Structure 1
């Protein structure tokens, strides 16, 4: 007997409930089989499912330090925050037996929806070929983002010499919930990511989406994710090419001085945001505990830097028991969680890094200064200079760390890729109470372990060592 599901369209960042005449009936016989092109549009409007990232890995990086005694006591006693503590310790098991990895679950739910569109929209009825192609392109951007994020959480950093054999992630490319669940290679993941994004840039997407539509993929976002992908592959010429294409479409920066005494924009009004991908499972309520910044990071800031002034606060602001350090606090300004989507500053930083690596240190510093000018009061800004190309690269990477701190895994992913270069490889130490934990460059602990519960129905899923 045929069943019907009714979809309520959710537009971007606010739920809009349509009248009964505008509900969408979708046939289901084992999987969703819409017949009309419009139904696939409605499926992609479900941004509550698709506007999501994997945000828990920030605490594993060298940007975070739990240095207040009261803080470690509170974290150690909290069942809700236990996964963050385990990630901070680079533990062999992050989640209890029977406990879900909600970040991974939500991303695979989004993947299921994207796969329905990618596999079926071109055969749908009542739409033009151009409409179908653009809808498919949106879904391909979403799928590429999911695969790129997850392969950097659970797989090894991309290395052209070993990617074909390095374990990656489970790559569902059709809307299925059955079959033998196994991981494929890192190379397989990147092949699909690049294919999806290269299709998407030619699919007829709108050049820019902003405001209530910022969670919908645009052509700028497809180029931006290509730039990020090639950066993680350490293919710097291609990363530069695509960062410049993204910036040719969208290049507006926020001037932080404008917001020193006024409301800071959320994602709908953030002119720097190219595509929203927010971390819905890291409530700002817990940010003062789980986003306590390391002294090493804080010491890299000029105290006149408005990112320091606006986006960090003394830990004592949040608890009288906290007497040490500063905490990432941007979430308190926006009322929203962290965002892992591509931004204009990220593209500028990719462009600057690639220029420095190509021997154009002066051009790299010009790009960095263009960004930094918007991060200081005009009366206090002094241009940054570099002595040579290598010094330019070091300064660009330091600027990247400051600009992207606390933003859904950027630093963790950077550590993974930079460990492939001996001059940037780094040993990290985390202290938790009386315990000390050390992470060596290229350690297996850079690949997050899967939650044990998934082996109940995926016995052939290969675990990270």
Structure 2
């Protein structure tokens, strides 16, 4: 077993063993072999490992602004928060020497689990072929989410003309503890993502999973992630097709007015959530000051918008010395971290964007207004209009930014893909401790750097510029 795998693959193997030792046989050579079909089901029941996302990338986007002097002082003094400050500054190095990227580790831990299932379940004993195929399909949805998230965190935005040579991510597709750690291309990642999801939609998954089962992939989730994938690829016809397929299965929206004075639904009760992928305790759940929202974002809200009313609070709520701005604070309503899993609202936004890009601005606005109607008190709702399809696209993208703020990486990934279009490309400026930092469109800083510790064990892992 190669020493340099200690911080990626071996951590993943250890997590699998610790979480599943009630269900599987550990052979003497150390390989984990569940053997019976039902044991692969138990592996996928380990939602603590699989219901995860890569946290904190919101901090690097234009949605966040550390405006208060006292806030800057507090953030500078915290070792826990320092990596997020480095992301805010788009630093060349996010983690100190010797520190691991716990978000990345958790993703590769989950990947190890699902690769076991994908590679072995069809050869398992005592299950029907239909049961095995559906279990494999679940694992493929999980793997697709992992790869799609990581390639957008560490790789370049998808560009059909360069994706075959653009550096992507490490693509383990087997439960290996011996492979070399090297990055492949962005195109390689998307090829696996699309293959996994296209197989998953035909694998016999349940149409919808909800309640306690919302962390288990469904057919709606597979279509939803296909829609997200094609959106990031800027393949708008296929993004539209798959968003509509997801919405044909699951389309319920939550009326926020119903929860203005009562408990807001947790993910278990959230009828809009198609697949739970939360950011967990390793990111920002208990550091709300990190999600201090930019004035630019806040100023796009109608103050009657219940997303503004319910999900943002004056920064002074968290510290009396923070006298400027508002902070994203949905965690205070639900007691849970942010969720980056696909939702009905996201699918509606993808549908609207694709319609606007196809020249159907009126239909795009119809879709947006169906969503917005559930985000305002009935007495204060006013339908949004657009002068043409171009205006509709601008308004859809602004609505997407409001709806998905703070959810986990959406704005950062949108900035990356929209930078490919000159009319939407933008330069971002952050100020911290008296210094000004600038991020140009398509900058290399849009690719997160790998923590230095991995180069002690993976010398062939290529670093981002």
* TM bracket, shorter-chain basis: over 0.9
Partner of 2:447: 447
| Residue 284 (1) aligns with residue 298 (2) | no
Q: How does 1:257-406 map to 2 (within 5 A)?
A: 257-280=257-280, 281-287=282-288, 289-406=289-406
Residue 8 of structure 1, CA deviation: 6.2
Partner of 1:17: none
Query: TM-score of the superposition, structure 1-length normalised?
Result: 0.95
Residue 456 of structure 1, CA deviation: 1.1
Partner of 1:25: 24
| Residue 253 (1) aligns with residue 264 (2) | no
Q: Is the 8 A contact 1:148 1:189 kept in 2?
A: yes
Partner of 1:132: 132
Partner of 2:8: none
What's the RMSD between the two structures over aligned residues?
A: 1.1
Q: How does 1:150-165 map to 2 (within 5 A)?
A: 150-165=150-165
Partner of 2:72: 72
Cα distance in 1 for residues equivalent to 2:88 and 2:436: 11
Partner of 2:13: none
Cα distance in 1 for residues equivalent to 2:285 and 2:317: 14
| Residue 46 (1) aligns with residue 46 (2) | yes
Classify the secondary structure of the residue corresponding to 1:285.
coil
Q: Is the 8 A contact 2:24 2:32 kept in 1?
A: no
1:63-116 residue CA offsets vs partner (Å, 9 max, x unmatched): 000000000000001000000000000000000001010000000000000000
Cα distance in 2 for residues equivalent to 1:51 and 1:444: 30
Q: Is the 8 A contact 1:284 1:332 kept in 2?
A: no
Q: Is the 8 A contact 1:26 1:39 kept in 2?
A: no
Q: Is the 8 A contact 1:7 1:42 kept in 2?
A: no
Residue 55 of structure 1, CA deviation: 1.4
Counterparts in 2 of 1:78 and 1:6: CA distance versus 1, 3 Å:
closer
1:195-233 residue CA offsets vs partner (Å, 9 max, x unmatched): 000000000000000000000000000000000000000
Q: Which runs of 5+ in 1 are unaligned?
A: 10-21
Partner of 2:82: 82
Q: How does 1:2-21 map to 2 (within 5 A)?
A: none
Residue 283 of structure 1, CA deviation: 4.1
Residue 177 of structure 1, CA deviation: 2.0
Cα distance in 2 for residues equivalent to 1:331 and 1:446: 27
Q: Is the 8 A contact 2:55 2:284 kept in 1?
A: no
Tell me the matched-pair count: 448
Q: Is the 8 A contact 2:17 2:32 kept in 1?
A: no
Q: How does 1:420-435 map to 2 (within 5 A)?
A: 420-435=420-435
Partner of 1:117: 117
Partner of 1:407: 407
Partner of 2:9: none
Query: TM-score of the superposition, structure 2-length normalised?
Result: 0.95
Classify the secondary structure of the residue corresponding to 2:453.
helix
1:3-29 residue CA offsets vs partner (Å, 9 max, x unmatched): xx98767xxxxxxxxxxxx94232333
Q: Is the 8 A contact 1:277 1:339 kept in 2?
A: yes
Counterparts in 2 of 1:416 and 1:202: CA distance versus 1, 3 Å:
same
| Residue 231 (1) aligns with residue 234 (2) | no
Q: Is the 8 A contact 1:6 1:24 kept in 2?
A: no
Residue 310 of structure 1, CA deviation: 0.3
Q: Is the 8 A contact 2:56 2:284 kept in 1?
A: no
Cα distance in 1 for residues equivalent to 2:146 and 2:135: 17
Cα distance in 1 for residues equivalent to 2:80 and 2:195: 38
Counterparts in 2 of 1:445 and 1:189: CA distance versus 1, 3 Å:
same
Counterparts in 2 of 1:8 and 1:81: CA distance versus 1, 3 Å:
closer
Classify the secondary structure of the residue corresponding to 2:287.
helix
Classify the secondary structure of the residue corresponding to 2:146.
helix
1:376-427 residue CA offsets vs partner (Å, 9 max, x unmatched): 0000000000000000000000000000000110000000000000000000
Cα distance in 1 for residues equivalent to 2:231 and 2:337: 25
Classify the secondary structure of the residue corresponding to 1:430.
strand
